[in-house]
Structure 1
Amino acid sequence: MVSDAARDIRELIENWVLWRDSGDWDRFATVWHDDGRMEATWFRGSATEFIAANRRGWERGVTILHSLGGSSIDVEGSRAISQTKMQIHQRAVVHDVGCDVVCTGRFYDFFECREGRWGLVWRQPIYEKDRIDAVDPGATLELDQELLGRFPEGYRHLAYLQTLLGHEVAPTMPGLRGPEVDQLYARGRAWLAGNDGHPSELPEGS
């Protein structure tokens, strides 16, 4: 049986995608707690800053969409960790060729119930694999292999596109395996155990 907490959290996860991708910024803000924080390839900062950055991109015509799969949600009292299968879809021009990048991974989320309301405290995606394709299948796309090789396998094509768009892309985001994702799991365990502090600042060896 699914608990009330798990249902509320899954609803927040789905609302995050629907409201962000449709530009419903006022309702998107309600998904987060006041100290909410977002980490992504192209962004690291507060939820408020993240919403503002997405709004600016939306107004410039940036196309980033998300799709969701299943969720696994662990609840301990007023805290929860959820993992949700997802894909990131970004369209942009790469070397004069219209391209789609699809990145597959998981949203790894830290939730807390405060004054009877569940909210998102920290979202850290896990990037598992990605690819880039020309929108026109007859187009020829040649990538700079040196630039592509700067980034981990899990999101190197997404990072390539975002770097060309002018973003400073983080080179050490969590992937399917490795110390970064192990450290994230450790922070998740510490969060559920009730350790003090914002989850993004918990000791990586917790």
Structure 2
Amino acid sequence: MGPVIEARQEIRQLIENWALWRDSGDWERFATVWHDDGRMEATWFQGTATEFIAANRRGWERGVTILHLLGGSSIDVVGTRAIGQTKMQIHQRAAVHDVSCDVVCTGRFYDFFEHRDGRWGLVWRQPIYEKDRIDPVDPAAVLSLDEDLLGRFPEGYRHLAYLQTLLGYEVVAGMPGLRGPEVADLYARGREWLAGSTGHPAGVHAGSPA
């Protein structure tokens, strides 16, 4: 087995561990997926991996329900660096205007990995949000959405953002989608990362806040 195949297998394991350990609240093992300068970007959070873990702990303790399902991965490895793209779904359940609802958002995890100190680790995760939907848990329930609030967010995650805004999160409106300048910029950063660019791929100093 060649080194690239071994690297892809190790990285795929990290991707799977991220979802399983985060969704089950296994925070100590979840922390091992990241490098020390790891960062996470999401609709509701932008910051360091350490801050992300703490925010997830707080949500977990409040009963916030966010789950992740993974699909296939494409992993490009160049030396000690890699870019992984993994099909995924985000599932979140919460009350929307007193109606219990499920939001399903389909997209990709776009991940920047590096091999340091004998192991692969995650340096930056930026999801790509492609499309989403919202459904009442009870199919007989009637749900009416605020069109003005819904229209504040991109098509790829507007229902997820709607629910998260009602929960009190400050949701970013400029996340990458299936097309557009945001995702084009992300792809460019991925190419630069594999080509050996210096500095953090998220464009921040290691450990700095969002």
- The question of a shared fold, defined as TM-score above 0.5 by the shorter chain, is answered with yes
Matched AA of 2:165: T
Structure 1 alignment gaps of length 5 or more: none
1:123 counterpart residue number: 125
* SS of match in other structure, 1:201: coil
Q: How does 1:11-50 map to 2 (within 5 A)?
A: 11-50=13-52
1:156-205 Cα shifts (integer Å, max 9, x gaps): 00000000001110000000000000000000000000010000018xxx
1:187 counterpart residue number: 189
Matched, 1:62 2:68: no
| Aligned-pair CA distance for 1:116 | 1.3
Matched AA of 1:133: D
Match of 2:80 among 65, 78, 89: 78
Report the TM-score when normalising by structure 2: 0.95
Matched AA of 1:37: R
**Cα distance in 2 for residues equivalent to 1:18 and 1:195:** 31
* SS of match in other structure, 1:8: helix
* SS of match in other structure, 1:56: helix
1:141 counterpart residue number: 143
Report the TM-score when normalising by structure 1: 0.97
Matched AA of 1:15: N
Count of matched residue positions in the alignment of Structure 1 and Structure 2: 202
Matched AA of 1:12: L
1:169 counterpart residue number: 171
**Cα distance in 2 for residues equivalent to 1:157 and 1:98:** 14
1:88-133 Cα shifts (integer Å, max 9, x gaps): 0000000000000000000000000002100000000000000000
**Cα distance in 1 for residues equivalent to 2:189 and 2:197:** 9
**Cα distance in 1 for residues equivalent to 2:58 and 2:197:** 36
Root mean square deviation of aligned Cα: 0.9
Question: How high is the sequence identity, in percent, across the aligned residues?
Answer: 82
Matched AA of 2:10: D
**Cα distance in 2 for residues equivalent to 1:45 and 1:179:** 22
Runs of 4+ in structure 1 off by over 4 angstroms are none
**Cα distance in 2 for residues equivalent to 1:115 and 1:6:** 17
**Cα distance in 2 for residues equivalent to 1:75 and 1:116:** 16
| Aligned-pair CA distance for 1:77 | 0.2
**Cα distance in 1 for residues equivalent to 2:197 and 2:143:** 49
* SS of match in other structure, 1:3: helix
1:91 counterpart residue number: 93
1:16-69 Cα shifts (integer Å, max 9, x gaps): 000000000000000000000000000000000000000010011000000000
Which is bigger in relative contact order (C-alpha 8 A, separation at least 6)? 2
